[in-house]
Structure formats: structure tokens, C-alpha cells
Structure 1
């Protein structure tokens, strides 16, 4: 078996390579407690968006270029199926997306034998403006939370902590907050980088200390940073070498980032 390990320490393993290859060959079956995935949204169509007050092309990389619906759906079913094999029977999976891919992902989850537990809406307080002025401003993303569709499955949910964090009231499925702040881009940036508070919340809700967390589309490594902070074991997969290096730097400098926060 060819090893694609790019970096590892006591709690973190980063693989540099295609996620399908790594998921198929590098990780043992039924060893992962929680998966967070931020897969391609397939929205880099050459259109125009706003970034930092400037008009820019929507071009995040070749990995995000739109394709046919059938190809997108086949892609989603393939990686979700591989992730299911690695997930423990009581484990759960979180997947983020927008209207460009989330409907395919929801169907793919059910087709591959998952039961959706929640549909989290992340409402952004500072979304980029809609430059076309022909529809409503896009200000939300969806995060689906699911477990294996097995009556014997007993997923973990830290209900009491979520209630505590919500001033003693049940936490709802709408989470409101800002886009990724500049201080979290101290070591570089990624075009789809998620803010730490979103990843940290979902991990605190669904993991226990020492659990193993997998991110098959690691990107900037935010999941790995959150895992370091929460005493979790992290496995990340990233195809682009620049982003793998960026994620590694962020994770090993977690304490420095804590000071920034």
C-alpha cells in the first residue's frame, strides 16, 4: 500500500492526494467517529462576485468547475459511500454546501444508507453583496448532519452543552455569525475557508475527547485546528499541495492562533 502521508504527529495525520485513493486504501474500516466534509460546490462558472469590496471572477480552481448534474451526483455518491465504510456504526457525518450541491448531497446520503438528523442553516451576518441585483443576496449555507440508517445506531449528541452555550435554551438549527475573520487567515487563506466557530460548534456537539475526526476535503485545515483545540484526533485529506502545507502550518501553530482569537 502506497503511503500518501504528508504530515503526522501524535494526534494529526494529513494525507496529500486524491480523496478517493486515500479513502480506499489508507484508512481502516470502521475507525472514524465523526466526519466533516466541505466538498466542491461546483460554482466556479466564470461569473462575477464581490471579495473585499472588489469585483472578482468566481474561479476557485479546477476542482470547483461545474459539470453535468449526473457527474456531480455520481461524484457525491462515490465519496459518501467510501466515507460510510470508514465510519463507526454510531458515528456521524456533517456535510456543508449551498444550493449548487446540497440537494444532490441530501439525496446521495439517503441513497447510500444514511439518515439525516438535522439541516443546519448557517446564516452569514456579512455576506458579499449581490452584484447582479436580479435575485436575493446569498447569505446562507446548509450543513447536513447524518448517521447510518440503522435502528441499532446510537449517535452521540452533547445536548446539555449545546443548551448551555445557548443561554439555557435548546439550540436551534439556525446558526448566525460572520464569515471567516482576517485573523484566521494569518498563515494564508483558502477560497472556501470556513470560520473556526462553525466547525468547533459542530464538533463539540457530536464528539467526545479522543474521538477520531476525518475531513476528506481538508482545504485550509480549519477542522484540524478545531480538533487540536478540542483534544480530538484528526485525519485530513487534501489534493492541492499548497493547501496541504497551509493546513499543516495552521494546525501546528494552533496555540498562536488561539492568542489571535
Structure 2
């Protein structure tokens, strides 16, 4: 179902099951996909956020269904994404260790060509309250082309320029979202605009179509608009689409 549509700015938000929506979308129609799927971390535990102890329960959508069912879900949505990607399109998937290895394996099973694993280092990551593990301060972002034959776009020179004239490496130091990025509301796994800006500039051109199948509060959409890209976001939760 169409939740929001702005033809003048080429923005569309769709509410519903992303797999069903993707399977109904036009084949070979999307230039780039950024996906931040459920991490399946909601287990009744606690974490630290802004100096306060808070629950890690994000909602029913983030509860684990078991290893096999979680991987089956990865295969299903990645297959649906692969169908809508243009022949030379690429996909970026963000995740923690809880799901990213399943995603990477599913990509290989489906015939994607994995281009890079980006290590996003969070300079302002919260501490580990249990004191039984190292502090979790990174997320992995996998970048992959539709298949082995894809001739993906990469703005090498711009990335080099951003890195003081040197080749950009795959470790990116970017802080988690600042308070001003959450002024209209909060999503539990919101990504910083800086991260999405770099991803979009690296792998798309102006007027390309960017899609986010788990869009949440649409940080991907904000970055797309600022960079003159078309955007389609999908989410099941109206609460976050409203943000």
C-alpha cells in the first residue's frame, strides 16, 4: 500500500511486507538498494543509550525465529531484492555479527558478487554493561553486485577526494546518529546520514533510483533527497514511516 507519494521529488513510501512488495515491483528497475534488516537481537536484555539503561527489545519484528528460519528470511528478501536490481545495480546490507554472516552466505547462494565488507567503526558506541565481552563498536556493511557479470558503478575519484587524496579503505569512522537527526522521533536501529551519504555517493549517480526495503525512519530517503536521487522506502511499521 502506498503510504506517501511525492512525484515532484520522486519519493515514495510503501507500507507492507517488503518481500511481497518487492515481488510485485518492476524487474531490473532499481539502481541501488540499502538494507538494514532485523538483527534478531530482542531478547529481554538491557543496554546503555545516552547514559541510560534501556531495554534491547525493539519489537516483534526483531525477535529471533531460530537460526534456520532467520537464514530462510535472509534468502527470501535478498532474492526479492536481486530481482528488482538493474543488471549493474548493487546492494548494501548493514548488520551485526548476529545476522551478517547469514546475509553473506545467502548472497553467495543466490549468486551475488560480494565487492567489499565495510567495517563501520562507531566512535561514540555505548559501553558493554555486562563487562563480560569487548565493547561492540562496529557494524559490518556488505556491498555486493547483482551477479558475477555485473559491471557495477563506483565513484573511486570522489571517495579518494573525501579521503585527502588517498584510496579510501574499508574501515569507516562515523559516529552514530546525532540528536538533531532524531528530532522528529527515534528508530532503534537508525543509521547516521553521513553513512548513507557516503554509500549513495560511492555507488550511484544523480537521478538514480535508491530503494530501502527496511526503511524505518528513512535516513536513506533523507540522504537520497539531499543528493538528488529518486527514492522508494518500504516498511511494515506505520509508526516509523510517519517519522
Give the TM-score of the pair, scaled to structure 2.
0.98
Alpha-carbon offset, residue 169 of structure 1 = 0.3
Counterpart-to-counterpart distance in 2, 1:17 and 1:169: 43
Counterpart-to-counterpart distance in 2, 1:203 and 1:62: 30
Give the structure 2 partner of residue 163 of structure 1.
Answer: 160
Give the structure 2 partner of residue 145 of structure 1.
Answer: 143
Asked whether 1:16 is paired with 2:30, we answer no
Counterpart-to-counterpart distance in 2, 1:209 and 1:55: 42
Structure 2, unpaired ranges of 5+: none
Within 5 Å, give how 1:51-70 maps onto structure 2. 51-70=49-68
Counterpart-to-counterpart distance in 1, 2:123 and 2:148: 37
Alpha-carbon offset, residue 66 of structure 1 = 1.5
Give the structure 1 partner of residue 79 of structure 2.
Answer: 81
Alpha-carbon offset, residue 52 of structure 1 = 1.4
Within 5 Å, give how 1:69-108 maps onto structure 2. 69-108=67-106
Give the structure 2 partner of residue 40 of structure 1.
Answer: 38
Give the structure 2 partner of residue 240 of structure 1.
Answer: 237
Counterpart-to-counterpart distance in 2, 1:56 and 1:187: 20
Structure 1, unpaired ranges of 5+: 247-261
Alpha-carbon offset, residue 150 of structure 1 = 2.7
Counterpart-to-counterpart distance in 1, 2:67 and 2:48: 26
Counterpart-to-counterpart distance in 2, 1:5 and 1:189: 22
User: Secondary structure at 1:203's aligned position in 2?
Assistant: helix
Counterpart-to-counterpart distance in 1, 2:153 and 2:166: 19
Give the structure 2 partner of residue 176 of structure 1.
Answer: 173
Runs of 4+ with deviation above 4 angstroms: none
**For each residue in 1:137-187, what CA deviation from the matched residue of structure 2 results, as whole angstroms up to 9, or x when unmatched?**
000000000002233x21000000000000000000000021100000111
Alpha-carbon offset, residue 97 of structure 1 = 0.2
Give the TM-score of the pair, scaled to structure 1.
0.91
User: Secondary structure at 1:24's aligned position in 2?
Assistant: helix
**For each residue in 1:6-59, what CA deviation from the matched residue of structure 2 results, as whole angstroms up to 9, or x when unmatched?**
11112101101111121112x211000000000000001111111111111210
What is the number of residues matched between the two proteins? 241
Give the structure 2 partner of residue 215 of structure 1.
Answer: 212
Give the structure 2 partner of residue 202 of structure 1.
Answer: 199
Asked whether 1:231 is paired with 2:234, we answer no
